[in-house]
């Protein structure tokens, strides 16, 4: 039997942010899906807006599997993982062993395809996945702060600073044009099409529309 996909299925049992008080939990399966969505978006932006030629599909797949090794290692909190270079290098070695273990659970002829997913050789793909990973973490911070959880205030500042340091135009574009919406409520995200509204998002217009259709 080959156990690779049964192990991948267990990503949902590995919780992130284990040292933090969370208003809602997040597992690595949820995080990996969000990271893949964001990485795909960054790749599309790079190609369509900034003259890139990156393989969009390969970026999305690499993002889906970027934390797969944590099925075996668990999620190590960032303050511990980056406490000093020695710990970081040791954890990299552990991640390598975990990825090798996962790949060994596949038939030999399938391993090269999944090795490309777990360990992409293209530095451009790796760069976009890393950016999407950080963006996903920042979105988690935004949502926690929106829920009134100040535990994530410092993490929000750290992830924002890390994204600033990346200096990627597609990441900056996403942060300017798409990221602000993550701070809005559902009512604020709605778009009222009532003719007397000025066709701008916001709960005031939505309430006006509701009154109109109920009268």
**Please, what is the average pLDDT of the chain?**
88
Same domain, 138 and 193: no
Same domain, 177 and 210: no
Domain coverage including residue 209: 186-215
> Does residue 180 register a pLDDT over 70?
yes
pTM equals 0.85
> Does residue 215 register a pLDDT over 60?
no
Same domain, 195 and 153: no
Mean pLDDT value of segment 57-82: 87
- Where is average pLDDT lowest: 152-156, 181-185, 201-205? 201-205
Same domain, 64 and 135: yes
Q: What is the pLDDT of residue 209?
A: 46
pLDDT cut 70: percent of the chain above it: 87
CATH number of domain containing 33: 1.10.3210.10
Same domain, 118 and 204: no
Same domain, 130 and 209: no
Same domain, 213 and 120: no
Greater model confidence, 139 or 214: 139
Mean pLDDT value of segment 190-214: 51
> Does residue 202 register a pLDDT over 60?
no
Same domain, 143 and 68: yes
Closest-CA residue to 37 (of 60, 68, 8, 67): 60
Q: What is the pLDDT of residue 185?
A: 85
pLDDT interval class at 200 (50, 70, 90): low
> 32-64 pLDDT, tens per residue?
999 999 999 999 999 999 999 999 999 999 999
Number of domains making up the chain: 2
Same domain, 63 and 166: yes
Same domain, 10 and 96: yes
């Amino acid at each position: 039997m080959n156990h690779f996909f049964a192990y991948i299925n267990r990503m949902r049992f590995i919780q992130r942010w284990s040292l933090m008080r969370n208003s809602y939990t997040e597992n690595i399966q949820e995080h990996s899906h969000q990271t893949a969505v964001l990485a795909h978006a960054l790749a599309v932006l790079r190609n369509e807006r900034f003259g890139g030629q990156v393989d969009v599909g390969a970026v999305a797949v690499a993002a889906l599997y970027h934390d797969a090794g944590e099925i075996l290692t668990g999620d190590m909190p960032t303050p511990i993982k980056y406490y000093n270079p020695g710990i970081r290098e040791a954890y990299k070695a552990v991640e390598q062993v975990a990825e090798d273990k996962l790949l060994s659970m596949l038939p030999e002829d399938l391993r090269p395809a999944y090795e490309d997913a777990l360990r992409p050789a293209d530095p451009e793909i790796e760069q976009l996945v890393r950016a999407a990973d950080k963006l996903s973490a920042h979105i988690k911070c935004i949502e926690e702060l929106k829920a009134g959880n100040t535990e994530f205030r410092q993490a929000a500042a750290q992830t924002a600073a890390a994204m600033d340091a990346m200096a990627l135009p597609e990441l900056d574009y996403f942060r300017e044009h798409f990221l602000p919406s993550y701070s809005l409520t559902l009512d604020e995200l709605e778009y009222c099409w009532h003719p007397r509204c000025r066709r701008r998002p916001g709960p005031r217009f939505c309430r006006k529309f509701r009154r109109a259709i109920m009268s």
